[in-house]
Structure 1
Amino acid sequence: MLAPHVPRCKTLCYDVTFTSSLPRLATDFPNTAHHLSKLVLKASVANGMTGFLDGTEVTHFPFPVLQDLEIDGWNFVEIYTNAGWWFEELLKTSTNMVHTLAISQYRPMMRGEIQHRFLIDDAFPLLSKFRRLLLDNVDFDCTSDENPFTHNIEPESLELCSLSGPLTAAMLEKFLHVPFLTIVRCPLTDLGAFPACALTLRNIDYPAIAQDLRVLLPDWDGYELRIDNCPGFDDSILDMLGATRVLNTTTGEERLNASMLVNLSIENCHGFSIAALRRMTEARKIFIAGSTSDDLRDLTVLIRNVPTLEAEDRQWFARNFGDASLWRYDMDIWERSRICRANWAWRGVVQRPMFEICF
């Protein structure tokens, strides 16, 4: 019924319960869809048929301008295993496009009494070619290896959602560097490091997050940290960010924890105090002011849905942050500040410390 209209669509979304209800590539996409840039194939339950390939040999790629593909894990495994060239054709649509691959929902299928699991290691050469990669609630196997996978291209943005601790850790060990890393509802205990310049932690509600971050963040060299709806984020993490550690016991050389951090965003977290935030910002300012390093920068802080801010706190932040401002409407200041900071970097303008509060 939809097949005649597909060639005129720009976005096509299928969100069904069973994988067998998804469209068939051979029969539902018989013609080339010249305008389709986003295709969503979502299913939450595998009922023995993956649907998209339908056991048919695929010989053509009907989406010449496709940029964004969201697909369930069962169909991803089926296409990768039996028609891997299909993804390669997707990546060839245009070298100037930002290709996004989102894989959501996967549990190993039972065939008789045998559980067939998928080892994602072999797919890394393919996955690393996508500019944006998202894995959500998938139970893939991934070997943990001290030697990361070596490749010339890595995702610009990697988002891991609702994965197990071992899978999260193994995935991050495969990448030497990811500019933008987002972790949502994943435990951090098994992680060895954050291989990212900009890190977002969202909806992580297990009690040990404070202990894990106190271990992971001191050596982190990223410049942006965003914490969103993490109830376990508390004063101990802020005190750690304001502390130093000794690098050389002979010379007494010290290094600021998370020393490259220049942008901190805390949203929807109520486990910390304004007093701890003040201690952290003041300690970092004092250390940076007395440092001879040209790499250290003052901190920009964004707080949204904060604990009660007293008048004395407002005055303190106004004195210590030259561009202090209060925001009373909701907007994505994080994206705006990222764009502004990029413009400053290109123009060679020194970033001034800033404190923003959103109610």
Structure 2
Amino acid sequence: MDPFTLQAEFKFVKELPKTKKNLEEQAKREVQERQIEEFKRQEKKMSEEQQQRLKAEKWEKAKRDQEEEKKKLQEEGRKREEEQQFSKLEGRLAKIISDLNSNNTSPEITISGIEMGPARWRILAAALEANTSLKELHLAKKCISDDDGEEIMKKIKQNHTLEKLEMQGNNLGGKTAKVAGEILEVNDTMKYIDLEGNELYDKDLKDISGIVSIAEGIKKNTCLVALNLSNCNLDIQCGKLLADALKVNEVIIHFDYRKNGFDLEIVREINQYLQRNKELYDKERMMEWNERKSVHKEDEYMEMLEITLQQEHMKKVNIMGREEATKREKEMRWEEERLKKDIEMKREMDKLMNEAKKRQEAGKKKGKRRGGKKK
């Protein structure tokens, strides 16, 4: 039976004698009443919690909408600022941006001596994203903020041609360091990164996510040879993360960690891994040198073989040439002899013809003389 029905029925029941059975009945009713009250209380509580949850969801949605609207307005403002700055570009910066967009840059670019700002950094970063001609980019001591550094790094992350990046002496922080680590995870061309003199770890905020990202990137990277993190406000915790990363990495041979708060044990550990990597690097270079030497010898042998074959061919050609010349010489002598014989024969024929003609003329003259005598 429904508890509410029981409650309704109990309201009309008169007080019964206090017998054992009636007392038990009354106790059951009291239990049921307490259950009903607890049910109502829970239902009310659930309703209030649901209302609170709905209010919180509504507030969160309004907050998200407000943030999205704010972000949209900021993005529109950034675009307008970039368009204005792009229209004002001139001189060396305008040429650099144009060359980057057309993949027609020199292998090395520096922004030294060019006035920059947030909008111009974003324009430069966008031009770097798909470029395939630039090898080295120098952005040292240009007062680049952490937000601008993060934007530049995000675009460089998509670039798979750049080999050297110098950003020392700027105002970079954890955001830039975080994306730098992401670059190390996926990039297969970057060989040198210099972030010296930037506060990559904020000890006051205790945000170590940027260094964690760099350490994870080092573990997965297979092409970076040199990394400069000197004077970047790193402590023992950061040093331990980087040492553990170098334990896994076998390609970095130059790692500048000076002017940081590393203890002696971490320094020894880092140097040990760098020494191991240098030995592996030298061994690999030696193998490549021996291979090139072997290939060079093989090339020399093939070249000598080719020369020998050419010489043999020339000998055969010369022999055939001499045989051909001898044959032609014989033919020419035969032809000359034949012509001489023809000429001699013609001379003999001419002589015989002349003699016959003379005899004929002499016979005619003799006949004429005989005829005159008869008369």
Q: TM-score, normalised by structure 1?
A: 0.39
Bigger Cα Rg: 2
Structure with greater helix percent: 2
